[in-house]
A and B are shown apart, each in its own frame.
Chain A
Amino acid sequence: MTETNSSNGVQPESFAWDAESEAAIGRVVAKYPPGKQASGVIPLLYIVQNQMGRQTGSAWIPRAAMDAVAHRLGMAPIRVYEVATFYLMFNTKPIGKWHLQVCTTTPCWLRGSDAVVEACKAATGIGAFGETSEDGLFTMTEVECLGACVNAPVLQVNDDFYEDLDADSTRQLLDALRRDAPPRPGSVTGRQTSAPAGGPTTLTTLQNLGPPPPDAVQPPRER
């Protein structure tokens, strides 16, 4: 898992911020008092990752970009390398367009994460965790508890959670991703957040709101 000295031929020579990133950096840096800008290192690494996702379809952080972050925040580059390699949310190697992060921790495992893993492998041709499919669309990694155990098993795709999965729904999800039409995140069985699967067991007299209409738009996310 360690990417020390990752001169694996894919590292771009340089990295330049685009306008969107510049605007985001401005907002982040302004949050910290002068001289404490280094605190913004994690948000800035996310900004890099998002920009790479926008520009190349692969949301990862090249070395040159870590140096750019260091330069921007006035820190020694090694301090940025330390942070970027510490958090698994930062990809220090190129990844597929859709980053499949399968939770295999005990609750998810008990609820059938093995089937999710198998479905992912079958649908993408990926052989093992950490690999990227040949078409470059998918990378599958194994993650620890995502904190959504009530809706286990959980699969995180890029920044979104898909919950209550089984082999079938995983396959459908991947098909949709392949068509570039990610479905609405959340439970795939249609239950509202983590409310009881068979409908409410308390406050039953209140109107059951039911699942949101299928055309509901994804709320824009901001970091």
Chain B
Amino acid sequence: MAKVTVDGIVVEVPNGSTVLQACELAGKEIPRFCYHERLSIAGNCRMCLVEIEKAPKPVASCAFPVADNMVVKTDTPMVRNGRRGVMEFLLINHPLDCPICDQGGECDLQDQALGYGMDHTRYEENKRAVKDKNLGPLVKTVMTRCIHCTRCIRFVTEIAGVPDLGATSRGESLEVGTYVEKALGSELSGNIIDLCPVGALTSKPYAFVARPWELKKTDSVDVLDAVGTNIRIDSRGPEVLRILPRLNEEVNEEWLADKARFSMDGLKRRRLDRPWVRRDGKLVQATWGDAFTVIAERLQGVAGERIGALAGDLCDAESMVALKDLLTALGSANLDCRQDGVLLQAGRRDFYTFNSTIAAIEEADALLLIGTNPRREAPVINARIRKRWLASKMLIGLIGETAELTYDFQHVGGDAGAFDGLRDASAGFGKTLADANKPMVIVGQPALRQPGVLAAVWELAGAIGALAGEWHGFNVLHTAAARVGALDLGFVPGQGGRDLAGMLNGGVDVLWLLGADEFDTARIGRNTFVIYQGHHGDRGAARADVILPGSAYTEKSGTYVNTEGRVQRGLRAVYPPGEAREDWTIIRALSEVLGKTLPYDDLPGVRARLEQVNPVFGRTNFLPRFGVSDRSGPGQGSGRASGPFGVAIENYYQTDPISRASPTMAACTETFATTPLLQAAE
């Protein structure tokens, strides 16, 4: 530890810290453009100058290591003049276009210019102009504004692992870009918009839409993958205008995947904003009353076991528990949430969650990926894996289809047949796993569709020492935000109940789809009466006999459980369009019409019910670490695993009704479907 005095305040910082970190610890704010705590240090903007006693010149604090008994001054004439000089230089070539710049109001340069800028310029020469770059459909560039902090370059190189950006040429001709025109082939590319301290990189779909001070900011949770990324929804009136990440070290650090960031224009398209009822083969508009009456009439005399319900991938826990309670009241045990047919069971939680926790990836020393492509299924988790791989050269093995991940890995095999080879602790990747202190196994959804794989992977995890009292190295990577919550609530066939396959092809007479669009609706029996409750006119709604318009995740206060089993809550940012309502209230209202009134009628009531069904819902945000207390595995089931696992996500940009309705995601699909994702090099 080093003792450093900052403006008279004495702080202790670890050796090797930078002066800037010491200043922050002392509560002194240091202006900066290039420094970012999650990126390597560049030290090229010089805005962070401070004075250090006995140093003859001002020092760039972000790149200067502390020494014991150092005396730092952050507010002296020397410091202020130094920073003013830097600011003046930065502004020589920076355009004066704040009024038409999307960064206006949240621009670091603008903010710092307030403190260190002059009220006039001493330069009369022409400013340089730089050609804008085309980085694809997501990131808009105005490169004349670039101050060459290189944050974007460092981000794509270090964190995203897709080194496409660089600084070419030099001096006054220096330009940040790709040199060869190409779109940024990273699923995390939107983050460079947040990182860019000026308006050089801004959001293309959000261009000229709003000023930051006009926006209402609502904390929420992303549902377009199962990571549970913490987000902030910026809205104005009834419209969601943009989505930004919120800091959560345990989950997403400060990153957000592109689909989550840019799909929100899908929230305005193909929306179900009023009830519809099928009459004479055609869907016609209806009132809530009509729709409920039609349902009530149809349900008349239908036995409980002829009714079924499917929960989709974006559902909040509140609506699922309400639907489950209603079905139970109607005498049905036909419930399922596993639209993709994975063979996960409700029950013991560590059989279906990401037990190590996302943050613990940074402790693992060997990793086995089974039937998963984390880069597409959970880009933010993939970034953690890469972070760990960079920091420790963690060895990674993959069973399943190979892909361009952003780290090196050894391809161990293509199917479940490769498991046995890994039990050999004397050679190959089996030895790597056996030698590791904290081995980690991540199994993806495609693998879990094959019978016996869950049990086999659990057993393998045990054999390589991943199931220890202190370390739970068995992890299931989900792709659906609702899935873990649904399993927690037991949204699976009850005693004698039918599963998805059993409900299709006429297995039930009335089928309730709660936002369920990710299965082949053509397999629903021809005479099955389909109730679709959801927010988008997608596959499910097309087949429906009655449509009940629900809310998207931005329009309701919902509880979601991420792949780790972390219970998180999102708040409502805007109201649902037209006649649409929050989902659990729809089910509650219908229950009354059916004479099966559910015993709760406000949000605290539903949440109390959630907790009653499964106590995990009582603990939000916080997720305790745990080891393995019971090493006995899940049942083998019948059937044998065979053949390649396949992939969970073919096209990253369109995986759910929201992203399928989004023009931005369609543009991404067009751009990236033809260009294969670039290889990750380091």
What residues make up the interface of A, taking CB atoms closer than 8 Å to B? 1-5, 7, 63, 74-79, 81-82, 85-86
Contact = CB atoms under 8 A, between A and B. Distances in A.
B179 A78 contact: yes
A81 B179 contact: yes
12 contacts: A1-B169, A2-B175, A3-B169, A4-B168, A5-B131, A77-B180, A78-B163, A78-B179, A82-B166, A82-B167, A85-B179, A86-B170
B681 A75 contact: yes
B159 interface: no
Contacts of B168: 2, 4, 81-82, 85-86
Contacts of B225: none
A75 B181 CA distance: 19
A39 B131 CA distance: 31
A78 B173 contact: no
Given A81-B168, A86-B170, A5 B181 contact: yes
Nearest to A76: B163
B358 to A, nearest CB: 27
A5 B180 contact: yes
B169 A85 contact: yes
A115 B131 CA distance: 36
A78 B185 CA distance: 14
A196 B170 CA distance: 38
Contacts of B165: 78
B177 interface: yes
A131 B163 CA distance: 34
B170 A85 contact: yes
Interface of B: 131, 133, 157, 163-170, 173, 175, 177-181, 681
Contacts of B170: 85-86
A153 B165 CA distance: 40
A137 to B, nearest CB: 27
Contact of B169 (A63, A75, A86): A86
B158 to A, nearest CB: 12
A208 to B, nearest CB: 45
B166 A79 contact: yes
Contacts of A2: 168-169, 173, 175
B169 A4 contact: yes
B166 A78 contact: yes
B180 A63 contact: yes
Given A75-B681, A76-B681, A4 B179 contact: yes
B169 to A, nearest CB: 5
A9 to B, nearest CB: 15
A1 B119 CA distance: 33
A74 B163 CA distance: 13
A2 B173 CA distance: 6
Q: Is the interface of B mostly helix, strand, loop or mixed?
A: loop
A5 B179 contact: yes
Nearest to A78: B166
B179 A79 contact: no
Nearest to B164: A78
A78 B181 CA distance: 11
Given A76-B157, A78-B165, 12 more contacts: A2-B168, A2-B173, A4-B131, A4-B179, A5-B131, A5-B179, A77-B180, A79-B163, A81-B179, A81-B180, A82-B166, A85-B169
Contacts of A85: 168-170, 179
Given A1-B173, A86-B170, A74 B681 contact: yes
Nearest to B172: A1
Contact of B178 (A7, A78, A86): A78
Contacts of B681: 74-76
B180 to A, nearest CB: 7
Contacts of A77: 180
Contacts of A78: 163-166, 178-179
A74 B177 CA distance: 21
Contacts of B178: 78
B183 to A, nearest CB: 13
Contacts of A79: 163, 166
A77 B133 CA distance: 17
A197 to B, nearest CB: 35
Contacts of A82: 166-168
Contacts of B173: 1-2
Nearest to B162: A76
Contacts of A74: 681
A92 to B, nearest CB: 9
Nearest to A82: B166
A78 B165 CA distance: 7
Contacts of B166: 78-79, 81-82
B411 to A, nearest CB: 19
A77 B182 CA distance: 13
Question: 6 shortest A-B CB distances, which residue pairs?
Answer: A76-B163, A78-B166, A81-B179, A85-B168, A2-B173, A2-B169
Contacts of A3: 169
A1 B681 CA distance: 29
A82 B175 CA distance: 10
B48 to A, nearest CB: 24
Contacts of B164: 76, 78
B420 to A, nearest CB: 34
Nearest to A87: B170
Contacts of B181: 5, 7
A200 to B, nearest CB: 42
Contacts of B131: 4-5
A67 B44 CA distance: 28
Most buried by A among B163, B165, B179: B179
Contacts of A81: 166, 168, 179-180
Contacts of B169: 1-4, 85-86
Nearest to B166: A78
B680 to A, nearest CB: 9
Nearest to B181: A5
A79 B164 CA distance: 9
A214 B158 CA distance: 58
B126 to A, nearest CB: 16
A36 B181 CA distance: 28
A3 B167 CA distance: 12
A15 to B, nearest CB: 14
A138 B131 CA distance: 29
A79 to B, nearest CB: 7
Contacts of B179: 4-5, 78, 81, 85
A4 B163 CA distance: 17
